Amino acid sequence: MHFLRYSILLLTATVIFVSCLKKDYESPASTASYDPNLTVQTPIQTFSEMGLNMAPGKWRVLGDTTISGVVVANDQSGNFYKQIIIEDSSKAGMILYLDKSYLYSDFPVGRKLYVKLKGLTLINYKGLPEIVYSADSAGNTTAIPSGLFGDYIVKASYPNVIEPVEATIIDIKSNPNKYISTLVKLVDVQFNNASSNVPYSLPSSMASGTSRTVEDCAHTANVVMYNSAYSQFQSYNTPTGNGTIYAICSQYYSTVQVFIRDTTDVRLTKPRCP
């Protein structure tokens, strides 16, 4: 997925990227506060609910309306591919499927965006509402072409902060529609014994990704954390302690999952629960 032409540029980019991986998200050079204040006719929640109410693989072409949200996840660590996730003040989120690599350079976490939906497609893709360019009768999707980003996406102010909603594993599993594609804060959690102190994911030669299990301290509930084999943290070992995990709530068909943005989202520094 990386196509830098010259090896020296690849080496430089790799060194810079890896050195920053364990840090908080770096601020891009631009800190523009300009907001075009486009009219937002519909909250993200409307389209999230619409997509969730469709059967997987079903879709509809959208009319002339605009949504707005702040980027809460992108492809910076490689755990998301050709996707950014935006969330608005109503605490509803939506995936945008975009045909470009290194999206984080244009759409850093904290960037406010307006998305003009006319002509784009809303699909229930394997259980998740997504905004894509088009879809076919089999439910296959086409990402929004990079050359058309300017037709649909308008950048606004940066930086902005969206506070995650604190939730329990039981909360997100009992009412997933409330949390889908939003940033949540799971407290008093840990990796279970089988998923503790092992690589976040098997290597790409063995699998495209790996499910690890996160449990609550009372051992009453657990949830799958899915990690891409192409993420920059694939080989890092999961922590053994207890604490807080920030994650994007997701689902695969009807199975609730969570995705971290990078390992700074995993803050398990307290003693492990027995």
Residue carrying structure tokens 């032409």: 5
Residue that finishes a domain, picked among 135, 155, 175: 155
Mean pLDDT of the region 240-269: 98
Q: Which domain holds residue 264?
A: 165-270
pLDDT at 32: 75
Structural domains in the chain (count): 2
121 and 201 co-located in one domain: no
Q: Does residue 24 sit within a domain? A: no
**What is this structure's pTM?**
0.88
CA 214, CA 231: separation in Å to the nearest integer? 19
State what percent of residues in the chain have pLDDT above 90.
88
Instruction: State how far Cα 233 lies from the chain centre.
Output: 15
185 and 265 co-located in one domain: yes
CA-to-CA dists, residue 97 to 15, 94, 158, 254, angstroms = 28, 10, 21, 21
pLDDT tens digits for range 246-258: 999 999 999 999 9
pLDDT tens digits for range 92-134: 999 999 999 999 999 999 999 999 999 999 999 999 999 999 9
Q: Residue 164 has what DSSP assignment?
A: P
DSSP element (H, E) containing 149? helix 149-152
CA 45, CA 52: separation in Å to the nearest integer? 10
Mean pLDDT of the region 205-228: 97
Residue carrying structure tokens 């993420």: 231
149 and 238 co-located in one domain: no
pLDDT at 29: 44
Handedness of CA 21, 183, 130, 85 (dihedral sign): negative
Q: Among 8-12, 31-35, 63-67, 187-191, which is the least confidently predicted range? A: 8-12
Q: Does residue 265 sit within a domain? A: yes
Residue that finishes a domain, picked among 127, 155, 183: 155
DSSP element (H, E) containing 152? helix 149-152
Reading the block at residue 202, the tokens are 């098997």
151 and 118 co-located in one domain: yes
Residue carrying structure tokens 């529609």: 177
CATH code: domain of residue 133: 2.40.50
Q: Does residue 4 sit within a domain? A: no
CB 92, CB 52: distance < 8 Å: no
Residue that finishes a domain, picked among 110, 134, 155: 155
Does position 14 have pLDDT exceeding 90, yes or no?
A: no
Q: Does residue 66 sit within a domain? A: yes
pLDDT at 18: 38
119 and 179 co-located in one domain: no
Q: Does residue 16 sit within a domain? A: no
More confident residue, 5 or 61: 61
pLDDT tens digits for range 142-173: 999 999 999 999 999 999 998 999 999 999 99
Q: Does residue 18 sit within a domain? A: no
pLDDT tens digits for range 37-48: 999 999 999 999
pLDDT at 26: 52
187 and 151 co-located in one domain: no
